[in-house]
Structure 1
């Protein structure tokens, strides 16, 4: 009888468990990790709120700890992660929210001392692709990026609208965007985004066309490890993809390679694109982490979260070739039933 080699088992912490109508990437990342052929996992969820659905998905998440909000700073986060590490012995941590990344990046060296690996972009890389600097980044690297302007006051928004024209895209500095067709709609969006995400709000030139997204993974040395493009088939009122299909298009893969070569991007990313009537590709946003639809990459033959684990462990990873074209995802709502004792436990003790 031939004995099968035992797969290594890693304990991996994952944030972004809010699988709601505007979902975080955490649950999708966990699904991909659990299907990785090269290793087994124990998943530790890191949550911010007690009603994040991923907390209660016990078939995916083995245990959850609440962590402080990003605004609490690095000291509070490190203290909490030190506590988690004492009990769970994490091998790797995968953050999945834009707003939390600066703290995790700043702590990456100290986390490594604790035995917790990460595979994240640098603060400089994070800053280069920020919405506030995206236009300049595009000009520096010969990438098409719509004109935009940060605005702090309504009079600045009015001037931006007059210069950029309507429809006008009004964006929060971290998340959310509204296409305003009138000045009144732009004002409303400004107030909502200011209240939710703070200032500045970004006014961006509207580009008509078809929305396309690319989920990718860079090795930090200029190599593109994986890129899977997807066209949105259904979009919610919050602009989130609720259904999508993988595409075969060399131009999209070339754009992902151009981005990684220019930035030496380290980790997962998402390019949000608009394809104009002439076929030109405009970069609307560059998200510095895996998207919420990243499980589609695993289902299409390129398991990006699993590849990130190998990279974080210092193992060689060859660029992936080929993926299933025409593979679709469709999200759906599901009533997850749990007991209120679990809710009380995570609320009162910060662990479940």
Structure 2
């Protein structure tokens, strides 16, 4: 059960504070938590780089510690979290990057022994929705998924293009995608994505239609606690939603419930959907964590980050039944002024 806030505020660690043009979910998650819990929480930022903007938003983040990159491995992560926990007495950690989830899931039992709660999918659930396995997943559970081919070498692009035809979508292992009209463009995308995220690279059949995203929260037992569908109103050149609106659509809600039941998903997730001209819904990607627009769920009446914290702490959370249709988000950028001494302190000592 949730602790008595009169005794001590809940201490929550949050990653992905990179509120840039391709933002991480961390700042949006924290805003939702602040709305849900008010002053009864202490937010600990967990950053990878010194220039993550969320680090310096002191009205949202009480203190920040750097943590090792996922490539450093699970042991390095536990060692660092033990140090942080010794000072902050963390209650919950919410990881928000795809690439870090494997390590956090691996060490979740150790964290629980330390008194740190998480609410994460299993490695099996994580693998099942992976971009490389999504086609097989769709076949198994009778979900519509675009045809895709996984490749490891640029030489394989020509064969993939022959099978899928142009235009095609070249996707990175974790993030980013490029729509390519020619083999030359596909090669450029392959080298750019493999240099940044490694291999394999996913080559997917291009789908034309209306882009829709669904943010949802699974209870780990096959049921959805919350489902919020959003239609993109403005998309950046990186394919990120810069504005969106909640919509009412029973088919989208049913699709999210179908996915949750099939996977017994535990935690937050996002379905990236394309509705074609015939109205058929294709799952383009399944992101295994909250999306960057997650604050819209709080604005629409279903605060998913707040509900996740309650689930992590063992509280029974009833499924939401309603949300406000027509709620919009419009993302914006502003210049936050801070002092170089803060940047130097985080860079030198790993905490601020």
TM-score strictly above 0.5: yes
1:331 maps to 331
* DSSP 3-state at the match of 1:187: helix
1:65 corresponds in structure 2 to 65
8 A contact 1:7–1:39 mirrored in 2: no
**In structure 2, what is the Cα distance between the partners aligned to 1:98 and 1:68?**
15
Where does residue 291 of structure 1 map in the other structure?
Answer: 291
Query: Any gaps of 5 or more consecutive residues in structure 2?
Result: none
Give 3-state SS (helix, strand or coil) of 2:13's partner: strand
For 1:119 and 1:338, locate their aligned partners in 2 and report how far apart those are by CA, in whole Å: 34
Report the Cα offset of residue 218 of structure 1: 0.2
Residues 191-227 of structure 1 deviation map (CA, whole Å, 9 limit, x = unaligned): 1001110001100011110100000000000010000
SS in 2 for 1:252: helix
Number of residue-to-residue matches in the alignment: 348
Q: Superposition pairs for residues 107-122 of structure 1, below 5 Å?
A: 107-122=107-122
**Match of 1:35, SS?**
helix
**Structure 1 residues 240-255: aligned runs within 5 Å:** 240-255=240-255
Question: Is residue 77 from structure 1 mapped to residue 77 from structure 2 by the alignment?
Answer: yes
Counterpart contact for 1:70–1:99, Cα < 8 Å: yes
Within a 5 Å distance, the mapping from 1:310-329 to structure 2 comes to 310-329=310-329
Q: Give distance in 2, aligned partners of 1:9 and 1:214.
A: 31
SS at match of 2:221: coil
Q: Does 1:157 align with 2:157?
A: yes
Q: Residue 182 of structure 1: CA displacement? A: 1.1
User: After superposition, what is the alpha-carbon deviation per residue over 1:44-99, rounded to whole angstroms, capped at 9, x for unaligned?
Assistant: 00000000000000000000000000000011111000000000000000000000
Correspondences of 1:1-352 after superposition (within 5 Å)? 6=6, 9-37=9-37, 40-352=40-352
Cα RMSD of the aligned pairs, angstroms, is: 1.2
**Kindly tell me: are residues 349 and 24 of structure 1, through their superposed partners in 2, closer, same or farther at Cα, counting changes over 3 Å?**
same
Taking a change above 3 Å as real, the CA distance of residues 39 and 279 of structure 1, as seen in their structure-2 partners, is: farther
Measured in 2, the distance between the counterparts of 1:90 and 1:336 equals 28
Q: CA deviation at 1:8?
A: 6.7
**Greater displacement, 151-160 / 17-26:** 151-160
Deviating runs (4+, > 3 A) in structure 1? 5-8
- Mapped to 2, the partners of 1:88 and 1:320 lie a distance apart of 32
Cα distance in structure 1, aligned partners of 2:312 and 2:36: 15
Question: Secondary structure of 2:229's partner?
Answer: strand
* Cα shift at 1:323: 0.7
Q: Matched residue of 1:286: which SS?
A: strand
Does the Cα contact within 8 Å between 1:7 and 1:38 map onto a contact in 2? no
Specify the SS of the correspondent of 2:36. coil
Instruction: Please report how far the alpha carbon of residue 153 of structure 1 lies from its aligned counterpart in structure 2 after TM superposition.
Output: 1.3
List gaps (5 residues or longer) in structure 1: none
Q: How far 1:9 sits from its partner (Å)?
A: 2.3
* Residues 7 and 212 of structure 1: CA distance in aligned 2, closer, same or farther (over 3 Å): farther
2 CA distance for matches of 1:94 and 1:10?
13
- Alpha-carbon distance in structure 2 between the residues aligned to 1:39 and 1:101: 28
- Aligned in 2, Cα 1:35/1:152: closer, same or farther, shift over 3 Å? same
Q: Which moved more, 1:251-260 or 1:154-163?
A: 154-163
| C-alpha contact (below 8 Å) 1:7/1:40 kept by paired residues | no
Distance (whole Å) between structure 2 residues aligned to residue 307 and residue 154 of structure 1: 44
| Separation of aligned partners in 1, 2:124 and 2:6 | 40
Partner secondary structure for residue 42 of structure 2: strand
Normalised to the residue count of structure 1, the TM-score between the two structures is 0.97
